[in-house]
Amino acid sequence: MKRISLLFLIIGIVYGCKSVKEPIELKKVNARGWYTTNGTVAEFDPKNKHVEIWVPKKNKNAPIVIYAHGGAGFREDDQARIEMLRKNGFATISFDSYAMNGLDWNFVTRRVTNSGKQNLIWGVYKGAITYVLESDKWDTQNIFLYGASNGGRTVLYAGSQFTHSKIKGIISEAPAATGYTLEDVSIPTIVLYGEKDNWAGKSETDYVWTRTYSNSPISIKDWIDAQQTKNNPIKLILYKDAGHLLFEGPLKKVTVKRGDKIAFSAYQGASEEALIKYKEDLVSFIKHNQEIKKPIEE
């Protein structure tokens, strides 16, 4: 299949991103015009303009949350999650992996497979975890992983790749039904969905967490059940009056187009009550699982 390196070299120049030495390569995977990543992707760089690191001025020992964006890149709803974390006194690291690879988010979200999107996110995310573990800028005893949609599946995958005791919890909002293979996770984990989340589904009740595909034959719900059978500390939480990605605004049904055709209709956003409960659950989870340092006795 023909590679389109030249196309993405041009896109990379337009977007002014020089995070990788060579232009990222994508390869076509089917006749419908979908692509996946092929080759080296951008890695974490704390000095990259698309990376944002924030530490509370009055609390250098605050827990730190490493955030992974969804399939559309780092958007307004992602920023809303970051602001929520900061208002509650947590340090944060966030980034836009698509921009770091010189890619237009409009193209990636419409033409790149979930696995390809997750490759772009994971290329940066794994380096961010290592950076946090080795830095003295925050409390490295209390690291939390947080992601939404494709980022939500990526952080679940991260939980199986990083089993460090300093990682105290994983928060996965609306993890994608396809992509990286999910393995055992022994870190405390919560998986959060809106009860109406039928994003990219075939019907009103084709919920993301129960869905399977030929390349992802185990649903998120079945994976969680299997983890619980192994006594791994993972919990599924569903929110009434909420759809895909609770920070997308008020709950509504939207129609998503691919070109001139309607690809699917689905619910997104959440009621004010659901979003408040979501925030309370998330903050409570972090505070409950963080390790409180004991004062040094004189």
Q: How many CA atoms lie within 13 A of 293 on its CB side?
A: 12
Contact indicator for 24, 8 with CB cutoff of 8 Å: yes
For residue 36, how many other CB atoms are within 10 A of its CB? 17
Please enumerate in sequence order all residues whose Cβ is within 8 A of that of 270, keeping only pairs 6 or more positions apart, or say none: 194, 239, 241, 242, 243, 246, 247, 248, 250, 251, 278
pLDDT attached to residue 7: 44
Contact indicator for 163, 124 with CB cutoff of 8 Å: no
Write out the chain's pLDDT in tens, 298 residues. Answer: 334 443 443 344 334 444 443 557 888 888 778 899 888 899 999 999 999 999 998 887 889 999 999 999 999 999 999 999 999 999 999 999 999 999 999 999 989 999 999 999 999 999 999 999 998 888 889 999 999 999 999 999 999 999 889 999 999 999 999 999 999 999 999 999 999 999 999 999 999 999 999 999 999 999 999 999 999 999 999 999 999 999 999 999 999 887 667 789 999 999 999 999 999 999 999 999 998 765 444 4
Encoded amino acid at 164, one letter: H
CA distance 67 to 45: 15
pLDDT attached to residue 279: 98
Q: In what helix (H) or strand (E) does residue 129 lie, and over which residues does it extend?
A: helix 114-134
Torsion sign across C-alpha atoms 285, 200, 32, 11: negative
Encoded amino acid at 269, one letter: G
Could you tell me the domains of the chain? 42-195+209-237+271-289 (3.40.50.1820)
Contact indicator for 239, 247 with CB cutoff of 8 Å: no
Residue 60 per-residue DSSP state: T
Alpha-carbon separation of residue 115 from 24, 36, 228, 269, 283 (angstroms):
15, 7, 25, 24, 29
Query: Based on C-alpha coordinates, what's the Rg of the chain?
Result: 19
Question: What is Dmax (Cα atoms) for the chain?
Answer: 71
Alpha-carbon separation of residue 238 from 154, 159, 195, 208, 229 (angstroms):
20, 21, 5, 12, 20
pTM, whole model, 2 decimals?
Answer: 0.90
Q: How many CA atoms lie within 13 A of 247 on its CB side?
A: 21
pLDDT attached to residue 22: 52
